[in-house]
């Protein structure tokens, strides 16, 4: 047996011999006199050289200054690493919710105040905030937001590129933000492996010019940055402005010169809005009613006093659930159904409310406008126009909501349009007008309004009368006959404009492709449809496609819903086993081609709502990169929830050596 302390001190050459020689048994030879072991141990414990060895060992056991510094550095890195993870997660929350990060000062912003609250429960963050503030700067915030936004964008592009067909379409729209800068919103539509169409917002891009050449260059630059081959572009959807849809210098023409396979679709929701807008302008009865609603909303919402007056009048009449007049959207005509519905619902309150406004002493002309508006609303003609518009706008409002779905297909949208047109054609009948007329007469009696009067008959000028002596001007005998013509003219105008607006050049190509698929499912002859399809889209194998189309009647046998439209066939095809779907590879390619064409630009319009929330009049100094990153994170909230914050933290630390010294390194397993 050896003495552990004496032996190790002797090995390190720090042992100091004393006058009394040390016992070799405990250091060199090993102790083995077990008969006198207790007495020998006690003697060795009290000897001078053992005590000296103990003192030397205590000195040797203390860690060095370098070791102590290294230990403290590890502790500091652990504290900083934990604090950084909290900083990143805080920015993730603010960006996901679309909240402002900065305030009037750095310490009054949401970011710093939220960190202070979290530091109460996280001691490492509290220590870090007291020692380092540079990692809370605007530059650090922008860098972390960029890392998160790029991670979201990479996941979106990864899903597009890894789909079976890799087809995609582009949706573009532009608007002006709060700082009067033109923002171009670009979205990408693709079809997943399970045949689900998805539309993803890609980003906002600032531009000083909105010409077709500039916008097409922006689109090409986005494709280049995202490594999306334009050879896979199969559709484009815009709002129909001349710079976008122009046949000579428009964006769609320039894109089709580079990729003729990219079908252009004028946004179906915009087409419906323009159809209703043109219809209203062409019919004086409905046009005057819409102007009355606009003036009514201006008067009712123009001041807090008049708003309270409306509520007081409703309370005095004991009217249940009064709805104040709603303003008319200047660009979305189909949503004016809500304003018409509110006016009809609160008609008994509106009349006494306007009478009360007429007696008010106002500094503006609201009282005089209210008198003229009251005179119009007290006539039966205005109520008739409201009820007629309520029926027609109800159909177009439901259709508009259906056209704005991000998963909508052109085939499904066109079928919804046909159903809406059928409903409008049913409204164009004497029986339906008589129902509208009866409802109006009952309301006139209930509200004590002036009866509907036949307008004064206008005789033609004498010069025309002398030239046309054989013909006499038609004269209506009753007010019902006169307004029946007005009602039919309104419904006819809506139907005519919808048919014209939805008859787009790109629709013919789409319907030909759709006819090839659905006619084959029903066992009908498709003629030269396959030849034309393969001439336009050279990726098809005409022989294989023709053989697979001949197999479709047996494949769809017993399922009549599968041949109704493209969407229903996709639902049926999606439920089939993988082995069965592999038999129809060319048919699936055709189906993906039909699904990838966008029907509306509503996804880009929704990004403008995000832009309005993010870049308000209080945040007009936000830079374009920060705006783009915040918009991406706010729109794709589910992707933000699934972010790997550890990987983002590792990317942030790995950009600089100084950060690795402060926060430490992260190993491949995710630990520090």
In this prediction the pTM is: 0.83
The residue-averaged pLDDT of 432-444 equals: 94
Rg (CA), the chain: 39
For residue 350, the surrounding DSSP H or E stretch is helix 347-358
* Burial of residue 543, with CB atoms counted within 10 A of its CB: 0-12 exposed, 13-18 middle, 19 or more buried: exposed
- What is the spatial distance between Cα 621 and Cα 47, in angstroms, rounded to a whole number? 81
The per-residue pLDDT for range 567-598, each reduced to its tens digit, is 888 888 888 888 888 999 999 999 999 999 99
**pLDDT tens digits for range 175-199:** 999 999 999 999 999 999 888 999 9
Encoding tokens for residue 614?
A: 């993010």
**Residue intervals in the chain for CATH 3.30.420:** 146-266+618-640
- Bridging pattern class, strands 168-176 and 197-207: unpaired
Tokens for 453, please give them. 């009067």
- Which pLDDT does position 464 carry in this prediction? 60
- Specify the range with the lowest mean pLDDT, choosing from 232-241, 315-324, 381-390, 429-438: 315-324
pLDDT(391) > 50: yes
HSE value, Cβ hemisphere, 13 Å, CA-based, for 669: 2
Q: Is 525 left (phi over 0), alpha (psi -120 to 50) or beta?
A: beta
CA distance 634 to 609: 11
Q: Can you read off the two tokens belonging to residue 492?
A: 């006819």
Average pLDDT score over residue span 238-247: 89
Of 92, 1, 118, 268, the residue nearest 646 (C-alpha): 92
DSSP 261: T
Burial classification of residue 664, based on how many CB atoms lie within 10 Å of its CB (0-12 exposed, 13-18 middle, 19 or more buried): middle
Q: Does domain 146-266+618-640 have CATH number 2.60.40?
A: no
Give pLDDT tens digits for 247-281.
Answer: 889 999 999 999 999 999 999 999 999 999 889 88
User: Is the pLDDT confidence value at 24 over 60?
Assistant: yes
The yes-or-no verdict on residue 612 having pLDDT over 90 is yes
Q: Averaged over 120-132, what is the pLDDT?
A: 89
Q: How confident is the model over 28-86, as pLDDT tens digits? A: 778 888 888 888 888 888 887 788 888 777 766 666 566 566 788 888 889 999 999 99
pLDDT tens per residue across span 304-318: 899 999 999 999 888
Between the alpha carbon of residue 599 and those of residues 169, 294, 594, the distances in Å are: 11, 31, 11
pLDDT digits (tens, 9 = 90+) for 136-178: 999 999 999 999 999 999 999 999 988 888 899 999 999 999 9
In this structure, of 115-119, 332-336, 342-346, 428-432, the range with the lowest mean pLDDT score is 332-336
Residue 204 host element (H or E): strand 197-207
Half-sphere exposure of 276 (CA within 13 A, CB side): 26
Q: What is the mean pLDDT of residues 424-443?
A: 94
Q: How far apart are CA 145 and CA 222, in angstroms?
A: 20
pLDDT at residue 669 tops 50: no
Going from the C-alpha of 71 to that of each of 75, 135, 399, 661, the distances in angstroms are 6, 23, 69, 13
pLDDT greater than 80 at residue 406: yes
pLDDT score recorded for residue 219? 95
Indicate if the pLDDT at residue 327 is higher than 50: yes
Residue-wise over 319-345: b if at least 16 C-beta within 10 A, else e? eeebbbbbebeeebbbbbbbbbbbbbe
Number of H helices, E strands in the chain: 32, 5
Kindly state the percentage of the chain with pLDDT values over 70.
92
The CA distance from 569 to 513, in Å, is 14
pLDDT at 53: 81
Q: How confident is the model at residue 563 (pLDDT cuts 50, 70, 90)?
A: confident
User: Given this model, what pLDDT does residue 460 score?
Assistant: 66
Roughly what angle, to the nearest 10 degrees, separates helices 380-403 and 366-377? 90
Q: Cα separation of 95 and 89, whole Å?
A: 10
Condensed to tens digits (0 to 9), the pLDDT of residues 284-309 reads 889 999 999 999 998 998 888 999 99
Which token pair is 420?
Answer: 């809406």
Report the pLDDT value the prediction gives residue 449, as an integer from 0 to 100. Answer: 92
The predicted pLDDT at position 668 comes to 44
Mean pLDDT of all residues belonging to the chain? 88
How many whole angstroms separate alpha carbon 578 and alpha carbon 563?
A: 20
Query: What are the b/e assignments for 430-461, b being 16+ CB within 10 Å?
Result: eeebeebbeebbebbeeeebeebeeeeeeeee
């Amino acid at each position: 047996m050896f003495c552990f302390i004496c032996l190790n001190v002797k090995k390190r050459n720090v042992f100091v011999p004393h006058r009394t020689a040390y016992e070799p048994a405990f250091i060199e030879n090993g102790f083995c006199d077990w008969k006198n072991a207790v007495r020998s141990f006690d003697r060795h414990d009290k000897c001078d050289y053992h005590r000296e060895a103990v003192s030397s060992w205590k000195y040797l056991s203390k860690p060095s200054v370098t070791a102590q510094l290294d230990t403290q550095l590890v502790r500091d890195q652990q504290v900083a690493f934990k604090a950084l993870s909290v900083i990143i997660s805080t920015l993730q929350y603010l960006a996901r919710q679309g909240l402002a990060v900065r305030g009037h000062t750095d310490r009054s912003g949401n970011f710093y105040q939220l960190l202070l609250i979290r530091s109460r429960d996280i001691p490492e963050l509290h220590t870090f905030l007291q020692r380092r503030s540079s990692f809370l700067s605007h530059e650090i915030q922008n860098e972390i937001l960029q890392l998160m936004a790029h991670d979201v964008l990479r996941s979106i592009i990864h899903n597009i590129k890894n789909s079976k067909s890799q087809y995609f379409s582009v949706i573009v729209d532009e608007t002006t933000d709060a700082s009067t800068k033109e923002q171009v919103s670009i979205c990408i539509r693709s079809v997943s492996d399970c045949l689900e169409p998805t539309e993803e917002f890609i980003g906002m891009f600032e531009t000083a010019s909105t010409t077709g050449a500039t916008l097409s260059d922006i689109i090409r630059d986005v494709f280049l940055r995202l490594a999306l081959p334009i050879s896979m572009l199969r559709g484009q959807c815009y709002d129909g402005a001349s710079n976008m849809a122009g046949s000579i210098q428009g964006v769609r023409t320039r894109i089709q010169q580079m990729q003729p396979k990219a079908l252009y679709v004028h946004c179906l929701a915009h087409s419906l809005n323009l159809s209703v807008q043109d219809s209203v302008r062409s019919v004086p009865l409905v046009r005057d009613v819409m102007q009355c609603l606009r003036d009514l909303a201006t008067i009712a919402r123009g001041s807090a006093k008049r708003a309270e007056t409306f509520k007081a009048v409703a309370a005095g009449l004991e009217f249940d659930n009064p709805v104040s007049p709603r303003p008319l959207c200047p660009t979305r005509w189909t949503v004016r159904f809500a304003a018409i519905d509110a006016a009809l619902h609160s008609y008994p309150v509106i009349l006494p409310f306007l009478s009360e406004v007429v007696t008010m002493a106002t500094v503006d002309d609201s009282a005089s406008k209210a008198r003229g508006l009251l005179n119009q609303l007290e006539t039966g003609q205005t109520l008739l126009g409201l009820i007629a518009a309520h029926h027609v706008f109800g159909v177009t409002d439901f259709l508009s909501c259906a056209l704005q779905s991000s998963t909508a297909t052109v085939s499904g949208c066109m079928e919804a349009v046909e159903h809406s047109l059928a409903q409008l054609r049913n409204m164009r009948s004497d029986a339906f007008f008589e129902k509208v007329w009866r409802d109006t007469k009952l309301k006139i009696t209930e509200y004590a309004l002036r009866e509907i009067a036949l307008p004064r008959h206008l005789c033609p000028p004498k010069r025309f009368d002398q030239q046309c002596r054989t013909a006499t001007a038609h004269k209506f005998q009753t007010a019902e006959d006169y307004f029946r013509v007005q009602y039919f003219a309104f419904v006819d105008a809506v139907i005519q404009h919808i048919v014209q607006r939805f008859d787009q050049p790109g629709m013919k190509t789409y319907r030909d492709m759709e006819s090839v698929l659905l006619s084959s499912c029903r066992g009908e002859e498709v003629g030269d449809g396959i030849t034309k399809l393969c001439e336009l889209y050279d990726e098809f194998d005409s022989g294989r496609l023709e053989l697979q189309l001949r197999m479709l009647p047996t494949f769809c046998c017993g399922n009549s819903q599968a041949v109704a439209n493209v969407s229903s066939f996709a639902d049926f095809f999606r439920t089939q086993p993988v082995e069965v779907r592999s038999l129809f590879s060319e048919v699936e390619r055709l189906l993906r081609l039909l699904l990838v064409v966008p029907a509306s630009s509503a996804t880009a319009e929704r990004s403008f709502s995000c832009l309005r929330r993010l870049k308000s009049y209080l945040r007009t100094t936000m830079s374009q990169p920060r705006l783009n990153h915040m918009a991406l994170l706010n729109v794709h909230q589910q992707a933000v929830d699934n972010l790997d914050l550890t990987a983002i933290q590792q990317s942030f630390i790995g950009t600089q050596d100084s950060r690795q010294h402060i926060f430490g390194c992260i190993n491949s397993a995710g630990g520090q």
